[in-house]
Amino acid sequence: MSRHRVVVIGSGFGGLNAAKALKRADVDVTLISKTTTHLFQPLLYQVATGILSEGEIAPVTRLILQRQKNVQVLLGEVCDVNLTANTVTSKLMGMETVSPFDSLIVAAGAQQSYFGNDEFATYAPGMKTIDDALELRGRILGAFEAAEFTDDPVERERRLTFVVVGAGPTGVEVAGQIKELAHRTLKQAFRTIEPRDCRVILLDAAPAVLPPMGEKLGLKAQQRLEKMGVEVQLNAMVSTVDYLGLTVKDQDGTERRIECACKVWAAGVQASSLGKIIADQSDGTEVDRAGRVIVEPDLTVKGHPNVFIVGDLMSFPGVPGMAQGAIQGAHYATTLIKHMVKGTDDPATRKPFSYFDKGSMATISRFSAVAQVGKLEFGGFIAWLAWLGLHLLYLVGFKNRFTTVIAWFITFLGDGRSQMAITNQMMYARVVTNWMESHTQEAMEAEAAEQARERAAG
Ligand SMILES: Cc1cc2nc3c(=O)[nH]c(=O)nc-3n(C[C@H](O)[C@H](O)[C@H](O)COP(=O)(O)OP(=O)(O)OC[C@H]3O[C@@H](n4cnc5c(N)ncnc54)[C@H](O)[C@@H]3O)c2cc1C
């Protein structure tokens, strides 16, 4: 008889931790992910601002799991999940694979959301993938290069204006780092511009910075950012984004323009579409407005006690879209799967998932962060040290920790950054890829229409 088959979708915090937690279980695991790496998203902004390389925050999943013999890693984008046949269909470059499962853990995470204005993405890349971070590095450093190139003071000012949309942890971190980059690393690198004169604007439709961390810490972060020269604009909603800049609508309804070359989108998330595909096949499970699956207390979907949704794709009261939510969800689901294999699981009497809040933190600049652990709220150097230690702890792999520490020494104790190279690929690959995808789709549709015409003609 074959062993219990577990399919895990995703190699992020949820997927990787699920696969690892099943190391000693009597199961065969297939981990399917559309990326070859396990991405440590909390440090993406450091890739975007030249502190770390992409390899330091994205080790290869296959190599992390190479000694775990009960796991097979498959590269591919899951395009369908069939809850009647218990199969997952994934595609890689036109090749299709169907993976049967006895238990399924879906940890496909979320994408950037432009709140229905997907066209903004062309000019304001998000910050969800390595490609995003590298493209942003190209755009941030490219804006300084372009500013050195022009004699027109108005255009120079536009090129030296950076707008970060979204004052959550990512927005705060990116805004702070662009300022530090200009003030420290680039301070003597140009001849006709003064990088430290650059404008960095952090704006948000909400009335506060870092809303989930509470008023006190939000205010602390805002004051620190303003001291660094970041302009914080709240109650400001972006209404259009174009090549030259963006339009913002203030609380009183007035619209104004900000002319800027580099825009970063760090607002809003939209869960993977796999959530809806699965919910639609369940016995009544729904998705919320962000596409997250409103899971049962045991993280499953109605009528399928063997199908678990964890991490950013799940909606569960009190669980934030953070790494800990995904890790704890993965451990909970794998514990139940181990009980299933031993024959000691009864779906009707499962202990519900409960989330242990270990707190949250955000860095603002070198030596300055804000942190919230339980009722304790603190900021400054101590919070920054806590941030440093915690991020090193959660980075996967000794080599990555070692090289990250060296890169941090270079950046935080000196003025340097070791990853300042930019390439044409970073700047233009997304445009080319989008063009190719849409043209391939058009070509396939035209071919299908032609075949249909031929069939109709006999
Ligand atoms: C810029 C940024 C900064 C953050 N900072 C923090 C922080 O400081 N602290 C914190 O706790 N959290 C932070 N988070 C949130 C944290 O990273 C997420 O909550 C966490 O990654 C969620 O884990 P996950 O496994 O659900 O999804 P992810 O880590 O997003 O992983 C999803 C996986 O699914 C794969 N996938 C998606 N769709 C498919 C498909 N159709 N087929 C196959 N594979 C698929 C992806 O390739 C990926 O491997 C941050 C997030 C971002 C974007």
pLDDT band at 86 (very low <50, low <70, confident <90, very high): very high
Residue that terminates a domain, selected from 267, 286, 306: 267
For residue 412, tell me if it sits in a domain: no
| pLDDT in the model for residue 52 | 95
Residue 205: predicted pLDDT: 96
The whole-number average pLDDT for the span 37-51 is 96
Least confident among 227-236, 344-353, 443-452 = 443-452
Band (pLDDT 50/70/90 cuts) for residue 439 is confident
Strands, sheet with 237-241, edge to edge from the N-terminal-most edge strand: 237-241, 245-249, 255-259
List, in order, residues 6 or more apart from 135 with CB less than 8 Å away: 125, 426, 427, 429, 430
What is the average per-residue pLDDT within 351-378?
A: 92
Q: Is the CB of 13 inside a 6 Å radius of any atom of ligand 1?
A: yes
- Judge whether residue 396 has pLDDT over 90: no
Is there a domain that residue 46 lies in?
no
Which of 157-161, 199-203, 436-440 comes out lowest in average pLDDT? 436-440
CA-nearest residue, atom 37 of ligand 1: 108
Which pLDDT score, from 0 to 100, does residue 135 have?
A: 95
- Domain tally for the chain? 2
Candidate of 7, 8, 33, 41 to mutate for ligand 1, largest count of ligand atoms within 8 Å of Cβ? 41
Residue-wise pLDDT for 245-281, tens only, equals: 999 999 999 999 999 999 999 998 999 999 999 999 9
pLDDT in tens, 401-421: 889 989 998 898 888 999 999
Please check whether residue 199 lies inside any domain of the structure.
yes
In the sheet with 77-82, reading across from the earlier edge strand, the strands are: 77-82, 87-92, 95-100
When mean pLDDT is compared across 26-35, 196-205, 278-287, 360-369, the lowest value belongs to 360-369
Q: Whose CA is nearest to atom 6 of ligand 1?
A: 42
- The reply to whether 284 falls in a domain is no
Domain contains 169: yes
Active site residues: 173
Segments forming the whole domain that contains residue 133: 118-267
- The arithmetic mean of pLDDT across residues 299-318, rounded, is 98
Q: Identify the band that residue 453 occupies on the pLDDT scale cut at 50, 70 and 90.
A: confident
**pLDDT for the residue numbered 443:** 76
CATH of the domain at 181: 3.50.50.100
Residue 57 lies in a domain: no
Q: Please tell me which of 199-203, 386-390, 398-402, 439-443 the model is most confident about, judged by mean pLDDT.
A: 199-203
Q: Is 35 in the pocket of ligand 1 (CB under 6 A)?
A: yes
Ligand 1 contact, 17 CB (< 6 A) = no
pLDDT beyond 80 at 438: no
Could you give the CA distance from residue 439 to residue 57 in angstroms, rounded to a whole number?
Answer: 33
Q: How confident is the model at residue 446 (pLDDT cuts 50, 70, 90)?
A: confident
Q: What is the pLDDT of residues 114-154, one digit of tens each?
A: 999 999 999 999 999 999 999 999 999 999 999 999 999 99
Q: Give the DSSP H or E segment for 33.
A: strand 27-33
Domain-embedded: residue 323? no
Is-contact 159 150, C-beta < 8 A?
Answer: yes
Widest pairwise Cα distance in the chain? 77
Question: Residue 437: is its pLDDT beyond 80?
Answer: no
User: Cβ neighbours of residue 358 under 8 Å, at least 6 residues apart?
Assistant: 324, 373
Last residue in a domain, options 267, 296, 328: 267
Indicate the top mutation candidate among 11, 13, 358 to test ligand 1's pocket, ranked by most ligand atoms within 8 A of CB: 13
Is a pLDDT exceeding 80 seen at residue 431? no
Per-residue pLDDT at 36: 98
Q: Rounded distance, CA 378 to CA 383, Å?
A: 6
366, part of any domain: no
299 within ligand 1 shell (Cβ under 6 A): no
Among 251, 267, 283, give the residue marking a domain's end.
267
pTM score, whole prediction:
0.93
